[in-house]
C-alpha cells in the first residue's frame, strides 16, 4: 500500500494524478499499422533516460502521490537494461507496477518478472489468426505472443489482452476472442482505434465503436457489468460463457474528466495527456524545482477530449 503523499497532485478540476506511463524507448520490432510507419525513424538510444534517471523521476513523483507505474514504449522489453529498470522501480512504494508489451520477448523475462514486483502484464494481440496478425503487425510472431500469454497466465501474473478492433480487418474475431478469454481465463479488452498519428486523419472507415460491439455480443451472450474505479480507462463485463471482457472507448466515451494519468517519454518529457503535446522536459530538474514544475504541469492537463494528435503512439508511449 502506498504511503501518504507529501503533496498530492490535484488539479483545479479535482483530478488527482496517481498513474504514470513510462516509455522506455520508442523503438519496436513490430510495425502495427495503426501505430507506426513501415520505416520509422527512432530516437537515438543516447537520448534515453538512464535507469537511475527513470528511478529518480518516478521516486520523486511517488513522494507527490503517484501510486501506479506502467512500463511501455515502443517495446519496453527490447531495452538491454530493462531488468535494471524494473528492479529499481520494484523498490518504490507503489500499489501497482505493470508492463505493456507486444509479447514477443516476454517468455524470457517471465521468471525475472515473477521475482520482481511487476505482476500486471498487458499484452497486445489484435488477431488470433496468423494471416491477420501478420497483416496488422507486419511480423510472423503470433505463436510467440500466444506462448507468452499462456506462460504468463500459468505463472500467475495478472494478464490482460489489448485488442484494437478495426472494421473489415479483425472485427469478425470478436467471438473468437471471447472464447479465448473463457478458455484461458484471461481478460480481453477491446480498444477503440484512436485518432493518433498514422490513423489520425483516416481512421473512420476502420473505426468500430464500443457500443456496436457491446450490442453484437449482447445478442448472443448475457453481459454482467463489473465494478471499476472511477479513473479506470475501461468498463468491464463477465459474459454468460465465462469470458472477462472490457472496453476502452477512448473515442466515443472519453474519460478525460476522471483522468489520473501522466506520461514520461523515453527522453524525459513529462506529458500531461495522450492527445496533447503539452508537457515539460524534466530530465535535469533539481529537487527544489519539482514543486513549481509539477504545478505548471497540473495546469496544462486538458479537461475536454482533444480530437486528434499527429504524433504516432510509439513516440508518445502507449
Ligand atoms: N509495444 C507495446 C504493445 O504493443 O503493447 C507497448 C506500446 S503500444 C504503443 C501500447 C498500446 O497502444 C498497444 O496496446 C497498442 O495496440 C495501442 N495503440 C497504438 N496505437 C493505437 C491507436 N491508434 N489506437 C488505439 N490503440 C493504439
Ligand atoms: Fe510496436 Fe506496440 Fe506499436 Fe505494435 S503497438 S508497433 S508492438 S509499439
pLDDT digits (tens, 9 = 90+) for 262-315: 999 999 999 999 999 999 999 999 989 999 999 999 999 999 999 888 888 999
Pairing of strands 244-248, 187-191: parallel
| Nearest atom in ligand 1 to 312's CA | 20
Query: Is the shortest distance between the CB of 49 and ligand 2 below 6 Å?
Result: no
Q: Give distance in angstroms: CA of 25 to centre of ligand 1.
A: 14
Flag whether pLDDT at 177 surpasses 70: yes
pLDDT at residue 200, as a whole number: 84
Flag whether pLDDT at 2 surpasses 80: no
pLDDT digits (tens, 9 = 90+) for 119-142: 999 999 999 999 999 999 999 999
Query: Is the shortest distance between the CB of 73 and ligand 1 below 6 Å?
Result: yes
CATH of 19-316, one of 3.20.20.70, 2.60.260.20, 3.20.20.10, 1.20.120.430: 3.20.20.70
pLDDT band at 318 (very low <50, low <70, confident <90, very high): confident
> Nine-digit cell at 116?
520482481
CA-to-CA distance for 193 and 201, rounded, in angstroms? 12
Query: Is the shortest distance between the CB of 164 and ligand 1 below 6 Å?
Result: yes
pLDDT digits (tens, 9 = 90+) for 187-205: 999 999 999 998 887 888 9
Query: Is the shortest distance between the CB of 164 and ligand 2 below 6 Å?
Result: no
Query: Is the shortest distance between the CB of 35 and ligand 1 below 6 Å?
Result: yes
For the CA of 106, the nearest ligand: 1
Q: Mutation test of ligand 1: which of 23, 24, 30, 35 has the most ligand atoms closer than 8 Å to its C-beta?
A: 35
CA-to-CA distance for 40 and 142, rounded, in angstroms? 22
pLDDT at residue 4, as a whole number: 52
Query: Is the shortest distance between the CB of 124 and ligand 1 below 6 Å?
Result: yes
pLDDT band at 54 (very low <50, low <70, confident <90, very high): very high
- The residue among 159, 251, 175 whose CA lies nearest residue 218 is 175
pLDDT at residue 106, as a whole number: 97
Residues 6+ apart with CB under 8 A from 141: 30, 102, 104, 133
Residue with cell 473512420: 204
Amino acid at each position: 500500500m502506498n504511503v501518504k503523499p507529501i503533496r498530492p497532485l490535484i488539479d483545479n478540476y479535482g483530478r488527482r494524478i496517481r498513474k504514470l506511463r513510462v516509455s522506455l524507448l520508442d523503438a519496436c520490432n513490430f510495425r502495427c499499422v495503426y501505430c507506426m510507419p513501415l520505416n520509422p525513424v527512432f530516437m537515438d538510444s543516447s537520448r534515453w533516460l538512464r535507469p537511475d534517471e527513470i528511478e529518480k523521476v518516478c521516486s520523486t513523483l511517488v513522494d507527490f502521490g503517484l501510486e501506479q507505474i506502467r512500463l511501455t514504449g515502443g517495446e519496453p522489453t527490447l531495452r538491454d537494461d530493462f531488468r535494471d529498470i524494473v528492479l529499481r522501480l520494484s523498490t518504490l512504494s507503489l500499489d501497482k507496477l505493470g508492463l505493456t508489451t507486444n509479447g514477443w520477448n516476454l517468455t524470457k523475462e517471465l521468471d525475472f518478472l515473477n521475482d520482481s514486483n511487476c505482476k500486471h502484464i498487458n499484452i497486445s494481440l489484435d488477431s488470433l489468426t496468423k494471416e491477420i496478425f501478420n497483416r496488422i503487425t507486419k511480423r510472423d510472431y503470433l505463436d510467440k505472443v500466444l506462448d507468452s500469454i499462456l506462460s504468463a497466465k500459468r505463472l500467475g501474473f495478472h494478464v490482460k489482452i489489448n485488442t484494437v478492433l478495426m472494421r473489415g480487418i479483425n472485427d469478425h474475431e470478436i467471438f473468437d476472442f471471447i472464447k479465448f478469454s473463457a478458455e484461458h481465463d484471461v481478460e480481453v479488452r477491446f480498444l477503440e482505434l484512436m485518432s493518433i498519428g498514422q490513423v489520425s486523419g483516416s481512421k473512420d472507415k476502420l473505426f468500430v465503436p464500443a457500443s456496436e460491439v457491446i450490442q453484437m455480443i449482447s445478442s448472443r451472450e448475457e453481459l454482467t457489468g463489473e465494478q471499476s474505479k472511477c479513473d479506470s480507462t475501461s468498463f468491464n463485463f463477465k459474459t454468460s460463457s465465462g469470458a472477462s471482457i472490457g472496453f476502452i472507448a477512448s473515442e466515443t466515451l472519453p474519460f478525460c474528466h476522471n483522468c489520473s494519468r501522466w506520461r514520461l517519454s523515453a527522453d524525459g518529457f513529462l506529458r500531461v495527456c495522450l492527445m496533447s503535446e503539452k508537457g515539460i522536459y524534466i530530465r535535469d530538474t533539481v529537487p527544489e524545482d519539482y514543486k513549481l514544475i509539477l504545478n505548471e504541469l497540473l495546469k496544462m492537463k486538458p479537461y475536454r477530449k482533444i480530437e486528434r494528435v499527429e504524433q504516432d503512439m510509439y513516440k508518445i508511449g502507449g
